């Protein structure tokens, strides 16, 4: 019995070691070589442009994403309406689609007369930074809805019923009970969505292309540098992405910790 368990543990250990080696070696390459190339890369205007563009577009798209995702998640988890299952399936479907496919459909949508009308109205999407925001938003929206829905489903419905009987209308129940109860999960989700937006490439590539100093995000900068055989420049940008992602993961885990003042109640 014990030898059987030891063999099982050994096999699990070997698999874990292989997984760790695969992930760790990638991170190690970026950390070691990227850190070395970073000082020089930071003097390049392209890298700085890509960094600023990434931070700016990811922040805007994340805010827009939550403005749309939170009410959607609320409706999905707190109301009954015909076709709810279909909406949920649609969201899950887009979540599992390759991002490049979403990018193609966005390109077709915004190359249409409506897209051209938008461009004439001063809001170009294709081959512009607005398109980067839109691509990140489209890719992240189902993910954000799912995270917010999970947070809302985990919140105790009884508290909302009690609040209702205490005189709180639906909107006040949402703002005074549900949102504060889910604030840690939502803040963690916000950071994760922002981090994903920062690394988005597939849909962005299709919708806005990769043009130096125009639609150049950090992933686009990596792509352009590799294409130009500048591996050091690519690794420096990869290093920047890795550091930002690491910091946002740390922030997310800090946000998801419950408020200690609340005591054992949560």
Partner 1 sequence: MCEPVLQLKNVTLRRGSFSLEGIDLALAKGEILALLGRTGAGKTLLLETAAGFCPPSCGQVLFYGREVCSIPLHRRNIGYLYQEYSLFPHLTAAQNIGYGLRMRRMPREEIRQQVEQLAGRFGLERVLNQYPGTLSGGEQQRVALARALALRPALLLLDEPFAALDPVTKRQLYGLLRQVREEFGCAVLFVTHDFAEAQGLADRAGVLAGGRLCGVAPAAGLYSAAWPAPAREFLGLVEQQKGESAHDANRAV
Instruction: Please pick, from the candidates 3, 158, 229, 257, the single residue that binds partner 1 as defined by CB under 8 A.
Output: 158
Is residue 154 close enough to count as binding partner 1 by CB under 8 A?
no
Angle at 49 between CA 48 and CA 54, to 5 degrees: 100
Rounded-to-integer distance, Cα 223 and Cα 211, Å: 11
Does 81 participate in binding partner 1 (rule CB under 8 A)? no
Q: Does 159 bind partner 1 (CB under 8 A)?
A: yes
Nearer to partner 1, 97 or 179 (CB): 179
Asked whether the beta carbons of 202 and 225 are under 8 A apart, the reply is: no
When asked if residue 175 is in the footprint of partner 1 (CB under 8 A), the reply is no
| Closer Cβ to partner 1, 73 or 155, answer by number | 155
How far apart CA 237 and CA 120 sit, in angstroms, is 34
CA-derived radius of gyration, the chain: 22
Asked if 145 is part of the footprint of partner 1 (rule: CB under 8 A), the reply reads no
Choosing from 79, 96, 165, 257, the residue that interacts with partner 1 (CB under 8 A) is 165
By CB under 8 A, residue 151 contacts partner 1? no
Query: Is residue 98 near partner 1 by the rule CB under 8 A?
Result: no
Among 180, 213, 250, 254, binds partner 1 (CB under 8 A): 180
Q: How far is the CB of 167 from partner 1 (least distance, A)?
A: 4
8 touching partner 1, by CB under 8 A: no
DSSP state of 175: I
> Whole-angstrom Cα distance, residue 58 to residue 56?
6
> How far separated are the first and last CA of the chain, in Å rounded?
41
Nearest approach, Cβ of residue 255 and partner 1 (Å): 15
Round to whole Å and give the CA distance between 60 and 19: 35
Long-range CB pairs of 76-79, under 8 A, 24+ apart, other chains included: 76/145, 76/149, 77/149, 77/152, 77/153, 78/152
Binding residue for partner 1, selected from 164, 199, 202, 209, defined by CB under 8 A: 164
Q: Is the dihedral of CA 247, 250, 253, 259 positive or negative?
A: negative
Which position among 108, 166, 213, 247 is part of the footprint of partner 1 (CB under 8 A)? 166
User: Which CB atom, from 121 or from 262, has the smaller least distance to partner 1?
Assistant: 262
Q: Which one among 161, 175, 211, 228 touches partner 1, defined by CB under 8 A? A: 161
- 186 near partner 1, rule: CB under 8 A: no
Closest to 149 in 3D by CA, of 180, 177, 96, 189: 189
Q: Which stretch binds partner 1 (CB under 8 A): 3-11, 55-63, 82-90, 171-179?
A: 171-179
Per CB under 8 A, which region of 102-110, 166-174, 188-196, 216-224 contacts partner 1?
Answer: 166-174
Q: Contact 244/198 with Cβ under 8 angstroms?
A: yes
Give me the helix-helix angle, 2-41 and 231-256, nearest 10°.
120
Question: Least separation, in Å, of the C-beta of 150 and partner 1?
Answer: 19
| Chain residues that interact with partner 1, rule: CB under 8 A | 156, 158-159, 161-169, 172, 176-177, 180-181, 259, 261-266
């Amino acid at each position: 019995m014990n030898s059987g368990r030891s063999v099982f543990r050994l096999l699990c250990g070997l698999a874990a070691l292989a997984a760790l080696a695969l992930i760790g070696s990638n991170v190690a390459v970026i950390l070691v070589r990227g850190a070395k190339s970073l000082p020089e890369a930071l003097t390049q205007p392209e890298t700085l442009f890509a960094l600023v563009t990434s931070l700016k577009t990811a922040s805007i798209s994340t805010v827009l994403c939550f403005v749309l995702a939170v009410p959607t998640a609320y409706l999905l988890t707190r109301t009954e309406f015909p076709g709810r299952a279909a909406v949920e399936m649609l969201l899950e479907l887009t979540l599992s689609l390759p991002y490049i496919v979403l990018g193609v459909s966005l390109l077709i949508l915004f190359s249409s007369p409506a897209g051209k009308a938008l461009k004439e109205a001063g809001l170009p999407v294709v081959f512009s930074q607005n398109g980067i925001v839109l691509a990140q938003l489209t890719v992240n929206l189902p993910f954000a809805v799912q995270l917010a829905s999970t947070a809302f489903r985990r919140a105790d419905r009884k508290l909302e019923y009690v609040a209702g009987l205490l005189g709180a209308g639906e909107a006040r129940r949402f703002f005074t009970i549900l949102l504060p109860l889910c604030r840690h999960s939502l803040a963690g989700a916000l950071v994760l969505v922002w981090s994903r937006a920062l690394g988005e490439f597939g849909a962005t590539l299709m919708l806005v292309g990769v043009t130096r100093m125009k639609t150049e995000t950090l992933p686009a900068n990596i792509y352009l540098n590799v294409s130009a055989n500048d591996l050091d420049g690519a690794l420096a940008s990869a290093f920047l992405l890795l550091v930002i992602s690491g910091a946002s993961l740390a922030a997310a885990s800090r946000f998801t910790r419950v408020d200690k003042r609340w005591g054992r109640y949560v």
